[in-house]
Chains A and B, each alone.
Chain A
Amino acid sequence: MLDYLLPRYKVLRDRDECVQCGVCERSCANGVHKVDEDLGRVTADHAKCVNCQRCVVMCPTTAIAITRWPQVDAGSGNWTLEAMQDIAKQAQTGAVLLASMGNPKDYPIYWDHLLLNASQVTNPSIDPLREPMETRVFLGSRPGMLKVNEREHVVMTPMPPQIRLDVPLMFSAMSFGSVSLNAQKSLAMAAKELGTYFNTGEGGLHRDLEAYADHAIVQVASGRFGVDPHYLNAGAAIEIKIGQGAKPGIGGHLPGEKINEEVSRTRMIPQGTDAISPAPHHDIYSIEDLRQLIFSLKEATLYRKPVAVKIAAVHNVAAIASGMARAGADIIVVDGFRGGTGAAPKRIRDNVGIPIELALAAVDQRLRDEGIRSTVSLVAAGSVRSSADVVRAIALGADAAYIASAALIALGCHQCQDCSSGRCNWGIATQNPDLTKRLNPEVAAERVVNLVRGWNHEIKEMMGGMGINAIDSLRGNRLMLRGIGLNDKELEILGVKYAGE
């Protein structure tokens, strides 16, 4: 049957620059480039290109650029080329459309509508190069009130377990299986170096990563892959994943071809079988069930590990988060709809959930209205793109932010959104050994460390500008934000004033 699909991209090759060295051909797992000796030039199979930009970066003479396929649409603002292509694809396959990474649609990005403050005259800004500037954060639940002996400097209130972050961000869950072991190891190494945490995702903890277990948050999700007492006790904290911003209400499906020997051992499932995470946890059909799971995990770890619960930002997120706090969650993680994924049904990714900015503001305010904000930790996830976004998230009320897409981009990801194909040319979202070896964790970890160090410097600069020398004083400090281009309702939910007010 003739495939009605059009190519999405066109490979532009500068013939003046191309030396036919073949680096592009050897770099492309999709088989786009070919050094054609008969023609004496390099050809391209445009339809196969996913715009991962590996060839563009690798080409020694920068002879390559990728452009959109120049086909015009039909001139309709309604029947866009993309809408028609989706239909053509489904007409061909009869299947659910699959997509990867975060929601790419043109919804408002509220981060870009929040401006930061700085001190002038009445209050000196602080130079982080001269004065101490504290970005250390502890996550976990905490008593609302301490009892101490002031003379002997002893705390009498039992302190629940905490994890310490030297930078106010962590790497969010990406399982071994959805990403390569090298990708996970890169983040583990970076987390250790930075004094923060990576998250195993629902894929178990590979034995090679046990050395980094102190810096691991071990996830328990609906498929329970890789979960046993050893796993739970190995990590620094446990995270129950209820939902993911990219696909709220949807489980996961790792196809059998990705379940190789190592993935199989780590996930504790037979090789070659599909790993299916159900949409709900089948032992959590209500909030009281969540409480049971939280306390089962606490029992299993002798109350030594904080337990986080992660949910996707959905309409009723504030009430749900408050229920989670009351159910015993030590850390509440809210994942916005622009958060990434290795694979999700496209319609879910593009249409379900709400932005993290609004969800975070609503959750923080609800917890405060109920007087329990100071007793739990709150982590924001779902497309934190820069240090300024981290500052905004904390000022809106988060204790820390989770980053994943940004960390992957540091590893090389170019957001081609083709993770589910398993042909990631950057060695990240693949189990193909030819490709995974492209990601040398030593190099990759360095890049991630550089990124986070750079962000942390910037966070300190921005805090210093505000006259704040500890991140504690930024948390929930919404006066440090002003809205721009927002309507009254948006300002109300975000709890910020308009610029100029």
Chain B
Amino acid sequence: MPIRESLREGAVRIPSGCAIAGIMDRSGARHDGSDILKSIALMHDRGNGLGGGFAAYGIYPEYRDLYAFHIMYESREARAETEAYLDTFFMSEKQERIPTEPVAAIKNPPDIWRYFVAPHPMRLNMSGLDEAEYTMQHVFHINGKVNGAFVASSGKNMGAFKGVGYPEDIGEFYRIRDYDAWAWTAHGRFPTNTPGWWGGAHPFTLLNWSVVHNGEISSYDANRRYVEQFGYGCELQTDTEVITYLFDLLARRHGFSQEMAAHIMTASSWDDIDRMDPDRAAFETALRVAYSSALVNGPFSVILGSDEGLLALNDRLKLRALMVGEKGPMTYLASEQAAIEVICPDVENVRPVEGGVPFVVQLDEVAERKRRESAENRPAREKPYQHEVGVMPPKRKEA
């Protein structure tokens, strides 16, 4: 019987409903994946078995300075081609198959590998790009040009574990209980179509970003055509992808804080701006005017993971559910309150994330550092490239 090839993400635009969850320990202490698994499993009915996944931060401390690429292969040729490509542009410290567990419900998994790599120093220098941009472009290349290979994650000291199936099965499959992370996010997907492709599952990641998202953004094409101007190819046609690129553009390239990036994407309403004092109104107006096409519209709830912590965001009208709760250094986020209470029955301060008001939780050390830093955004292209300035010995202080 011929195998009917299912539609891939990118071939068609597929709206989805979803469950999302996130757990973070502000102190940086690491916890294994059992809580996040339990939390997302409770929201089983919000997914339909066609996609689930996790992102974890802090799981590779021994390789913290290297990019950890999780790559899914559908064929041996794809792996050979990709590895040859990686060998050209990166230096690999370690590469291995990601350990998995056979799970009855998980059918036809791809061959999944991870690589701990650093950009090839000379090629990086020749590229005229900074390290992040260099890495990002090569990830785009593999995803777009190598048939049968997909980079599931490409950040440092983090990784995405995702596939087709219910999230609890995907979690078992990847043995996520074996990893310790200071932040976990999870996603259970309810696509209205049958993508059946592992690369299309969520979280969507890019460098250190990971995004889990519930909703359907009606501004999709306006946002897509905006970011595509700056070299972000929206191959997957998913909301999550375009939201990730918006964060990357605003927070990494333009240098805004994640909170400000989120504020730009859910800008103050004109009604509110009209009630502000003139200086503040001028500030908000400038943001809206300059970043008009970065406004995200339609129902969505998003959890953004990064090396700084988690950020939760709801659309301006609060059309999607997202709850937050706290207990000590722990912060819990989930589409449903029950998914928080199931793992932390005595959770405190439970409340909905407000529409258009980003909820931010940062690692204590990051928060401390940010407090001391200037509040002016520093665009990526104005920063000296680490790999260029780092080679010179620090200037000797005059006695």
Contacts and interface: CB of A to CB of B under 8 A. Distances in A.
- Say if the two chains contact directly (CB < 8 Å): yes
**Range class of the A interface residue count:** 35 or more
A472 B216 contact: no
A153 B379 contact: no
Contacts of A475: 222, 292-293
A373 B316 CA distance: 25
Interface stretch (A80-88, A135-143, A427-435): A135-143
Contacts of B219: 468, 472-473, 477
A337 B184 CA distance: 57
A468 B290 CA distance: 19
Contact of A147 (B223, B229, B289, B379): B379
B375 A149 contact: yes
B297 A155 contact: no
Contacts of B192: 122
Contacts of A156: 376
Contacts of B374: 149
B288 A146 contact: no
A142 B270 contact: no
Interface stretch (A98-106, A126-134, A312-320): A126-134
Given A122-B192, A148-B377, A373-B229, A472 B295 contact: yes
A144 B285 CA distance: 15
Contacts of A142: 289-290
A124 B283 contact: no
B279 A374 contact: no
Interface string B259-293: 11000000101110000000110111111111111
B64 interface: no
Nearest to A394: B222
Given A467-B298, A469-B316, A476-B225, A153 B292 contact: no
A469 B293 contact: no
Nearest to B382: A147
Interface residues of B, number: 55
A479 B17 contact: no
Interface in B307-358: 316-317, 319
A149 B376 contact: yes
A219 to B, nearest CB: 24
Given A467-B299, A475-B222, A155 B283 contact: yes
Interface in B197-228: 215-216, 218-223, 225-226, 228
A368 interface: yes
Given A123-B216, A476-B221, A467 B297 contact: yes
B295 A146 contact: no
Given A124-B299, A150-B260, A136 B270 contact: yes
Interface in A458-501: 466-470, 472-480
B174 interface: no
A153 B280 contact: yes
Contact of A467 (B218, B267, B284, B292): B218
B115 interface: no
A467 B225 CA distance: 18
Contacts of B279: 153-154
Nearest to B269: A132
Nearest to A144: B290
A12 interface: no
Given A134-B269, A368-B228, A469-B316, A150 B377 contact: yes
B166 interface: no
B15 interface: yes
A435 B254 CA distance: 59
B257 interface: yes
B297 to A, nearest CB: 4
Contacts of A155: 282-283, 286-287
Nearest to B223: A473
A1 interface: no
A151 interface: yes
| Most chain B beta-carbon neighbours within 10 Å: one of A149, A372, A473 | A473
B94 to A, nearest CB: 38
Contacts of B222: 472-477
A162 interface: yes
B13 interface: yes
| Most chain A beta-carbon neighbours within 10 Å: one of B267, B286, B297, B298 | B297
Nearest to B229: A371
A152 B269 CA distance: 20
Contacts of B228: 368
A241 to B, nearest CB: 25
Contacts of B215: 123
A150 B216 contact: no
Interface of B: 13, 15-17, 192, 215-216, 218-223, 225-226, 228-230, 253-254, 256-257, 259-260, 267, 269-271, 279-280, 282-293, 295-299, 316-317, 319, 374-377, 379
15 contacts: A122-B17, A122-B192, A132-B269, A146-B287, A148-B286, A154-B283, A373-B225, A467-B218, A467-B299, A469-B316, A470-B297, A475-B292, A475-B293, A476-B222, A477-B218
